[in-house]
Chain A
Amino acid sequence: MTSDSMPLIVAVLSSALRSGTGIAFAAVGETFAERAGVINLGIEGMMLVGAMAGVMTRVNGGSLVLAVVAAGVAAMLLAALHAYATVGLGGNQIVSGIALSIVGTGLSGFFGRPYVGVQFDGISPLNPPGLASLPIVGPILFQQDVLVYVAIVVSILAWWVLFRTRLGLDIRAVGENPDAAFAHGVAVVRVRVTAILVGGFLAGVGGAYLSLAYTHLWAEKMTAGQGWIAVGLVIAARWRPIETLIAAYAFGALTVLHPHLQATGIAISPYFLAMVPYLGAIIALVVTTRIFARKGHALPAALTRNFQFGRSRRT
């Protein structure tokens, strides 16, 4: 089935999954960190490092699996700096994140320059015979590459871990009140570091998705703000992984909707469509203040507050 003959909704949904997947990885990763009470504003830089490391590995002969893992690990190293600075040393989470975002942007551009415009075999849609040619569900669900499915699995897994396991309970406890969690025997430092590292790894995979699967190229600053969109979507989805995945797809749909809308005569600037996630995040921030929030939908109370035994304080 070609895209010309596809009904609009199928075309939009199909590309929504594709264009939302990179952000979905990063945003689900950020959800872990923020649920544990640590905001990571270095996501943009970490995605870029992942996108570049993936291409670097692939071009130098690594397998696709190795390339994606290398992307995750490279971004995780940057996240480890964030963990060291904030959880380890008690440094300001916002300063650390913004500085690391600049570091990641710089390093990826610096070491990525030889790979700009280099051709490589990236990740292609699976197109399973039979299934891919099914009407409607074929293009949406089966003409996708494997990382699209991985993102869905990761989101469900993230929900399960956060809301159905002991580790998830610990993460949320640490993000709400680290002192109380500590008093109950939770290893606050270990839980927070784990959450940050998982978040960094997923940001790197999200970046690798963009370079290896979505565009099949490396370009400097190619994430173009997707890391910041991820931060916004985490908030808009109120720190819940499944909602985050859906929000990422919704954002993906918005970005591909514009040409279709134009064709149907609805003239709305793509720039206004692109504002939706940020406006959504602001609205979510207002409705998730203590006054309005339902249980489990509020901003983690200890977000951006560092923990040290006997010294963690509220400002």
Chain B
Amino acid sequence: MKPSVGRAGSVMWKISLTALPLAVAFLAMSAIVYSVGRHPLTIFSGMIRNGVGSLLGLTQSVTLMIPLLLCALAVAIPARVGLFNIGGEGQFHIGAIAATAIALHVGTLPRIVVVPLMCATAALAGGMWSALPGWLRARLGVSEVLVGLMGNYIGILLVGYLVHGPWKDPSALGWPYSAAFPPSATLPTIGTTYIHIGLLFAIIIAAAALWVIRSTTWGFSSRLIQANPATARYAGVPLIQYVIAAMLVGGAVAGLAGLGEVSVVQGRLRPDMSPGFGYAGFLIAWLSRNNFAAIVPVAFAVSALYVGADALQLTAGLPSSTVDVVAGLVFFAVFLARTIAAPTWEGADA
């Protein structure tokens, strides 16, 4: 993103750039809710209560934040060298597959061995999955956006194949699930909640990324590449290595998101684990302008929005798709406002 001029720097301007579109999304949502005969205020207060207003809601929001934050980091890291990682959904599923392979085959080993092994395998698998589009981009100039998108569906289909085929649990009464993870293949959690160590990983990764970008040669070169790849090349930056490495790290982080979901939240490999974490992560990274400090609170806010809207199914009898309506409207409204304020005419590099 290019630096913009004038008012863009002021705090008020930044706040209104988010607050105004949120108000517009709020109004649009009110109209939609009203059109099906509900009072918007009841709905919104219900969303806030369910998302952040109770201990249960907060716990759920923090739990859901983990895959969202990891998938957002998976986008933001490659974005810092000018790449669009839309393959988070695929990397997530591949990470989940790798973790399941460990859990099913060596899950009976002590937990102290299984958990690190699962983390390493899931990260490596997710990383390899995204290194391929990275390599194709760096070597042949193939669009990492389109290869990543296609990889998403291949990853999802691989999960489908495994849970309907070789990994199908005979005791799952015909459901396409893998066998449950043994306790030794379950990531450490806080008490009896589903808040697992992946949260710690995510925050460490965000902090590390912040440090790398601000204080290391690697970060300096990344900024150079993002600003102008040609200049970076003249300055002797090994562009290809940076591109592949950034994609690899991004994919590894998304792979960890998949690990957390199968190991803790689902407890087994299932075909419908992700409501679109990869795409939501992409939009969260975009909302936070790929800023590694902002990405944590933004991921939490989006997570609370999802949890609050999801609970409306039970509390207000609204359809499950209310989540998509709310999230989609918020994303699109903020996107429009930012675009109006500072258009990025050159677009992405496909």
A109-B319, A272-B161 as given contacts; A102 in contact with B336, CB under 8 Å: no
Q: Tell me which of A95, A286, A312, A314 contacts B142 (CB under 8 A).
A: A286
For B120, what are the chain A residues with a Cβ–Cβ distance below 8 Å? none
Q: Does B321 contact A (CB under 8 A)?
A: yes
CA distance A279 to B150 in the complex (A): 7
Contact with B along A69-95 (1 / 0, CB 8 A): 000000000000100011001111111
* A99 in contact with B283 given A85-B339, A113-B319, A278-B153 (CB within 8 Å): yes
Q: Which of A98, A286, A304 contacts B347 (CB 8 A)?
A: A304
Q: How far is the CA of A232 from the CA of B146 in the complex (A)?
A: 8
Dominant SS among interface residues on chain A: helix
As a 0/1 sequence over residues 186 to 223 of chain A, the CB contacts with chain B under 8 angstroms (1 = contact) are 00000000000000000000000000000000001000
Do the beta carbons of B154 and A89 come within 8 Å of each other? no
* CB contact list, A241-266 vs B, under 8 A: none
User: Is there an interface contact between A274 and B157, defined as CB atoms closer than 8 Å?
Assistant: yes
0/1 interface trace, chain A 294-315, chain B, CB 8 Å (1 if under):
0000010001111110011111
Verify B346–A275 contact, CB threshold 8 A: no
Chain A interface size range? 35 or more
| Residues 268-288 of chain A, each 1 if its beta carbon lies under 8 Å from chain B, else 0 | 010110110011011001100
Question: With A95-B286, A102-B276, A109-B324 as given contacts, are A304 and B153 in contact (CB-CB < 8 Å)?
Answer: no
Tell me if B161 and A269 are in contact (CB < 8 A): yes
Residue of B nearest to A307 (CB): B345
Whole-angstrom distance between the Cβ of A83 and the nearest chain B Cβ: 13
CB distance from A179 to the nearest CB of B (A): 11
Verify B154–A285 contact, CB threshold 8 A. no
B332 within 8 Å of A (CB atoms): yes
The residue that B328 contacts in the complex, of A85, A103, A303, A315, with Cβ under 8 A, is A103
**Smallest Cβ distance from B264 to chain A, in angstroms?**
25
Residues of A within 8 A of B161 (CB): 269, 271-272
Distance of B223 from chain A, by nearest CB (Å):
15
B154 contacts A304, CB within 8 Å?
no
Report the Cα distance A111→B319, complex, angstroms: 9
Asked if B82 is at the interface (CB within 8 A of a chain A CB), the reply is: yes
Contacts of A279 in B (CB 8 A): 150, 154
Which of B154, B286, B324, B325 gathers the greatest number of chain A CB atoms within 10 Å?
B324
With contacts A109-B319, A271-B160, A304-B350 known, is A90 near B345, CB below 8 A?
yes
**Distance from B311 Cβ to chain A, minimum over Cβ atoms (Å):** 16
In the assembled complex, the Cα of A91 lies from the Cα of B347 at a distance in Å of 7
**Choice from B323, B332, B339 contacting A100 with Cβ under 8 Å:** B332
Known: A90-B344, A110-B318, A110-B322. 6 other contacts (CB 8 A): A45-B328, A232-B149, A278-B150, A285-B142, A289-B141, A306-B344
| Chain A interface (Cβ < 8 Å from any Cβ of B) | 39, 41, 45, 81, 85-86, 89-96, 98-111, 113, 220, 225, 228-229, 231-232, 235, 269, 271-272, 274-275, 278-279, 281-282, 285-286, 289-291, 299, 303-308, 311-315
Interface residues of B (CB under 8 A from A): 32, 36, 82, 84, 86, 136, 140-143, 145-147, 149-154, 156-158, 160-161, 164-165, 229, 276, 279, 282-283, 286, 318-329, 331-332, 335-336, 339-340, 343-350
A sample of 21 inter-chain contacts (CB < 8 A) reads A85-B339, A91-B335, A92-B348, A93-B348, A95-B335, A100-B332, A103-B329, A105-B324, A106-B322, A109-B324, A271-B157, A274-B160, A275-B153, A275-B154, A282-B147, A290-B141, A304-B347, A304-B348, A305-B350, A311-B345, A313-B345
